[in-house]
Amino acid sequence: MAHWYDHAIIYQIYPKSFQDTNNDGIGDLNGIRQRIPYLQKLGINAIWLNPVFVSPQVDNGYDVSNYFAIDPAMGTMEDMNSLIEDCHKAGIHVIMDFVLNHTSNQHPWFQDAISDPNSIYRDYYIFAGKDGKRPNNWGSFFGGSVWEEDPAGTGEFYFHLFDKKMPDLNWKNPEVRHSMLEIAEYWLEKGIDGLRLDAFIHIAKADLRQNFPTEDGNGDPVVAEPFFANLPQVQTWLRPFCEQIKQDYPETLLLGEAASANVNLAVDYTERRNHLMDSVVTFRYFTEDNSQVDKHYSDVYQPKTLDMTAFKQNQTVWQQTLAGISYPTLYWSNHDMARLRTRVAKNDIQARSLAMLMYLQRGIPIIYYGEELGMQNLQFDNESQFSDQTVEAFIASAKKAGLSKEEAIKMASLVHKMPARGPMPWNHDKNYGFSEADSWIKGQKVDNCVVDDQIDDERSSFNFYKRMLELKQEDLFQDGDYYLLSTDKNSYVYQRDLGEKSAIVASSLSDKETAVVIPKGYEVEKLSAGDYQLNDGKLTLMPYSGVVLMKK
């Protein structure tokens, strides 16, 4: 039986940056509500909100201190209820971000755990080590060790994969699993339609007594992915959680964030008989080309191009492997990476052509707010705007190699996730109509994308996305088969077939004119980005342009 989410077209909203209604510089739920007509016009049918629970905002909401209430900076429970209701009236489903691997250190469970070593909540978290000695050399994604001293002074440490103010939950403990299910069901009972399971692949950890093997055996902390990502217990522990949700709320979309999952794991996570997720988001789509990297300093925030051949390989493998299993997610950017137009697309034509290429494949599009306008990363001018210790380390390393601090900050602005979270530009009023107050996120806008300029302009990026999403809703692009046509590295061309219907989607990946031979009979243009010529099966694409052609 088909579910609504098989044909979902998701728009990702970073609530703090979408629309502020009470002029405190922070976007809020009422702001999203106010913009529902815009979302309808664009043609999406679901929104995914980054976390809106009560949070000290150490990691912009991914550090939750109360899962049963809305962060006051973003609104109230009543606002949330109204948002859900209004979205549903408009035919838009609501997906919430569900942070289940860790909590804030301000969460009452953690506060209790550190106030009394005999607290029942001690076992909600992962405490280990003794006499002030860390159990192992594992490193945190946010820099430094995963181990932080127990503030209670027991000589033990607690585990945190992300910020030290975000202690990991101990999923081994059945009480934790039960509590998290309770929270999920609380929100589903309110009528939300889906959960994005944040960082779920990390809930199981290997034996904590093992160091990750390195040459010197015990040096600086190392990010030991194989010891805390995709372990088999992730599935064992999440299965009852997912099964219960599907039993109680069968129309719930379970969308997992599985950053490092390869395609085989994606099969495991989404195959029906495994009773886990419906779809996962992998970061493995985007293989970078490291050949231009300057080896004299750290490469983390040096801009890299996408290795287009590897990208094509990855896409095809995901498309063909998940055919008949589940719908892959299709996306170009999110709050954890630089924006499409900054990271990959060389110009506006390419941004459109790449969007078309990605979203008309088989799967669920997830469009990051502002992408439909061609929005770029902000430009930061101060290292503190990144609030990230790994950026400080990058700047230090770049300075040693002779770069100025300004150059390093400029570089990091093109690569880092924070500048991708800029305010949505609605109009030409103060702060682009986002807020009368200065935005919570500082940084300079470098593009000239504004909703008001684009909305009625047929040639705008917004209207390109709108037409593309109309096309996406046709059954050919939802359920048709996919296969890649053999072309060289200068283009990406695939075919979609459903019964008698058939279309070719062709995109140039080159800055030169590119010719490809396509099967005869595809002549009806459905959508195009940039210019092309079609002559008796020979398709010539102008630099970076793309076209969708239907069989007559």
Token output for 97: 């971000």
CB of 501 to Ca ion, least distance (A): 46
Query: Is residue 59 within the footprint of ligand GLC (CB under 6 A)?
Result: yes
The question of whether 436 is a catalytic residue gets the answer no
CB of 388 to ligand GLC, least distance (A): 10
Which residues, in sequence order, are CB contacts of 339 under 8 Å at separation 6+?
A: 333, 368, 370, 371, 375, 376, 377, 420
The binder of 364, among ligand GLC, Ca ion, none, by C-beta within 5 to 8 A per type, is none
Among 44, 199, 503, 509, binds ligand GLC (CB under 6 A): 199
Q: Which residues bind Ca ion (CB under 5 A)?
A: 20, 22, 24, 26, 28
Other CB atoms within 10 A of residue 216 CB: 7
Q: What are the beta bridge partners of residue 300? A: none
Query: Is residue 162 within the footprint of ligand GLC (CB under 6 A)?
Result: yes
| Annotated catalytic residue, options 148, 257, 278, 372 | 257
CB of 20 to ligand GLC, least distance (A): 21
The question of whether 470 is a catalytic residue gets the answer no
Q: Which residue is nearest to ligand GLC (CB)?
A: 62
CA distance 309 to 486: 12
CA-CA-CA-CA dihedral for 20, 22, 26, 27, to nearest 10 = -30
In the bound state with ligand GLC, the residue whose beta carbon lies nearer, of 198 and 372, is 198
Name the 3-class secondary structure at 250: coil
CA distance 340 to 219: 37
CB of 32 to Ca ion, least distance (A): 11
Name the 3-class secondary structure at 33: helix
The binder of 199, among ligand GLC, Ca ion, none, by C-beta within 5 to 8 A per type, is ligand GLC
| Annotated catalytic residue, options 150, 198, 268, 372 | 198
Query: Is residue 198 within the footprint of ligand GLC (CB under 6 A)?
Result: yes
Token output for 242: 């997912």
The binder of 59, among Ca ion, ligand GLC, none, by C-beta within 5 to 8 A per type, is ligand GLC
Token output for 464: 């390109």
> Which region, left, alpha or beta, applies to residue 52 given φ > 0 means left and ψ of -120 to 50 means alpha?
alpha
In the bound state with ligand GLC, the residue whose beta carbon lies nearer, of 46 and 471, is 46
Among 44, 74, 99, 201, binds ligand GLC (CB under 6 A): 99
Tokens 């010539």 correspond to what residue? 540
The binder of 429, among ligand GLC, Ca ion, none, by C-beta within 5 to 8 A per type, is none
CB of 21 to Ca ion, least distance (A): 6
CA distance 432 to 19: 10
Query: Is residue 336 within the footprint of ligand GLC (CB under 6 A)?
Result: yes
Among 62, 67, 465, 532, binds ligand GLC (CB under 6 A): 62
Name the 3-class secondary structure at 392: helix
Closest CA to 341 of 467, 464, 496, 516: 464
The binder of 162, among Ca ion, ligand GLC, none, by C-beta within 5 to 8 A per type, is ligand GLC
Which residues, in sequence order, are CB contacts of 458 under 8 Å at separation 6+?
A: none
CB of 330 to ligand GLC, least distance (A): 17
Contact by Cβ (8 Å): 324, 333: no
The binder of 198, among Ca ion, ligand GLC, none, by C-beta within 5 to 8 A per type, is ligand GLC
Q: Which residue is nearest to Ca ion (CB)?
A: 28
Tokens 């099969």 correspond to what residue? 267
CB of 19 to Ca ion, least distance (A): 9
In the bound state with Ca ion, the residue whose beta carbon lies nearer, of 73 and 366, is 73
Task: Tell which positions 257-276 bind ligand GLC, by CB under 6 A.
Answer: 257
The binder of 116, among Ca ion, ligand GLC, none, by C-beta within 5 to 8 A per type, is none
Residue 76 burial (C-beta neighbours within 10 Å; 0-12, 13-18, 19+): middle
CA distance 440 to 375: 18
Tokens 């459905």 correspond to what residue? 526
Interacting residues with ligand GLC (CB under 6 A)? 59, 62, 99, 162, 198-199, 257, 335-336
Residues marked as catalytic: 198, 257
